[in-house]
Amino acid sequence: MSERLNVWRGDARVGELWLGGDGRSMGFAYCAPAPALAISNSLPLAASPFPEEAGRAHNWFANLLPEEGSRQELVRRLGVVDEDFALLAAIGGDCAGALRLLAPGAEEEPAGRLPVAIDQLARWAEGKERYALFQPGRATAARLSLAGAQDKVPVLIEDERMYLPQGRLASSHLIKFAGNASLILNELYMNRLARAVGLPVPECRIGRAGKGLYLAVSRYDRAQGAADGGMVRLHQEDMCQALGVPRRLKYQEEGGPGLGQCAALLRKVTRAPALQVRQLLHWQIFNVLAGNSDGHAKNLSLLQDPSGRWSLSPAYDLVCTMVLRFSPNLGFAVGGNYHPQELRRKDWEGLAQDMTLAPPFVLRELANLVEALEPLADSAALKDSLLHAGMREPEWSKLQHVRKYAVQQCRRYRKLA
């Protein structure tokens, strides 16, 4: 394994990542002359390298990698050591955002696509295989690095056919799997409910293979190319990367950033920052009302435009975790309170202070979202939207606990707001 990786953005090499002398830490330096745009708010353009001992480069690049059980399965499948650099060297060819991490000499790997057979898709959807695209001995392995703990595979969907992109070819969708079909329905419900109340979200729909379900999510960090019709990579970074925070600190309660720090960054680096901060506030209110207690710093991302300015990405990974066996504590506190069913007026006023917003404004936005969300949460209109996105009529009943929770939360905070 090479101890250096070239960092590419499109057809331009923008820097180099290397493994430090301790065999674990990573350092990074921009090319000379420097590229036009920095890859991160936490790694600004600089002539000097970001040394491995400082940890800034390591934090950013390690945040590209899968977590928890997904990471362990990849290590086992790939037969590599469980170290960040080794995993990036193996699977960094198609990361979230616009970057590709390639060993020296691998830059001209040709683009290609492997059709996904329906029986293979069924094995993934039914939970019979995890990360099967990393089968040992395959001549040309798919290259990807998708953060998070859930099973997901990047694919290219063209004319209703699904392919695994190879080499330089970019994917268009993420295919997400879950051992329980109810989780797929849950995420689709939350996506459609968020869209109905005005929160930007990626397009998604349910697919079926064998006896299993999967969720096909359009990648917001990809766009249709103008020349050849292929996909173009758009650069992004999650909030942990933007703030220079290691992935283990994605939850505020465990030492990670708060919404005040996120809002301050949005004011510093985005266009129309007032609108960006308002979107961030709406995301947190939606999480409280709809039951997503897993809204943490890696579930917030920034997209970079061609001029280098950033904007808050659409909301993703929205799941009503309050009806599942997950921690009920919020990923971000509301005025220091992590309990979504016990928030008081002073907690929302505390959140306003943290985000440098006027308390009456925050309370008014809470009231507006309560007013919009409550009648939609269990409505025929929302059900119809889900049916158009691949849900079947009998599956609506599987969402009754999710629907009931959202309605109860709205009623709980109606009198507060």
- For 228-266, the pLDDT digits (tens) are 457 889 999 999 999 999 999 999 999 999 999 999 999
Average pLDDT, the chain: 90
Q: What span, in angstroms and rounded, lies between the C-alpha atoms of 344 and 155?
A: 44
Active-site annotation holder among 294, 317, 347, 354 = 294
Q: Which CATH number fits domain 235-414: 1.10.3470, 2.30.29, 1.10.1070, 1.10.8?
A: 1.10.1070
Which ranges in the chain are annotated with CATH 1.10.1070? 235-414
The 10s digit of each residue's pLDDT in 298-332 is 999 999 998 899 999 999 999 999 999 889 999 99
State yes or no: is 82 an active-site residue: no
The 10s digit of each residue's pLDDT in 185-238 is 999 999 999 999 999 999 999 999 999 999 999 999 999 875 445 788 999 999
Whether the pLDDT of residue 350 is over 50: the answer is yes
Whether the pLDDT of residue 109 is over 70: the answer is no
Q: What percent of the chain has pLDDT over 70?
A: 92
Confidence of residue 136 (pLDDT cuts 50, 70, 90): very low
Q: So what's the pLDDT on residue 132?
A: 45
The 10s digit of each residue's pLDDT in 380-405 is 999 999 999 999 999 999 999 999 99
The 10s digit of each residue's pLDDT in 29-76 is 999 999 999 999 999 999 999 999 999 999 999 999 987 777 887 788
Question: With left for phi above 0 and alpha for psi between -120 and 50, is residue 227 left, alpha or beta?
Answer: alpha
Looking at beta carbons, which pairs linking 170-174 to residues 24 or more positions away fall under 8 Å?
170/94, 170/222, 170/230, 170/231, 170/232, 170/233, 171/94, 171/144, 171/219, 171/222, 171/231, 172/218, 172/219, 172/222, 172/231, 173/216, 173/217, 173/218, 173/219, 174/146, 174/216, 174/217, 174/219
| Residue that has been written with the tokens 């009920």 in this structure | 328
Strand 112-115 and strand 152-158: the pairing is unpaired
Amino acid at 181: A
Of 130-144, 197-211, 306-320, 349-363, the least confident = 130-144
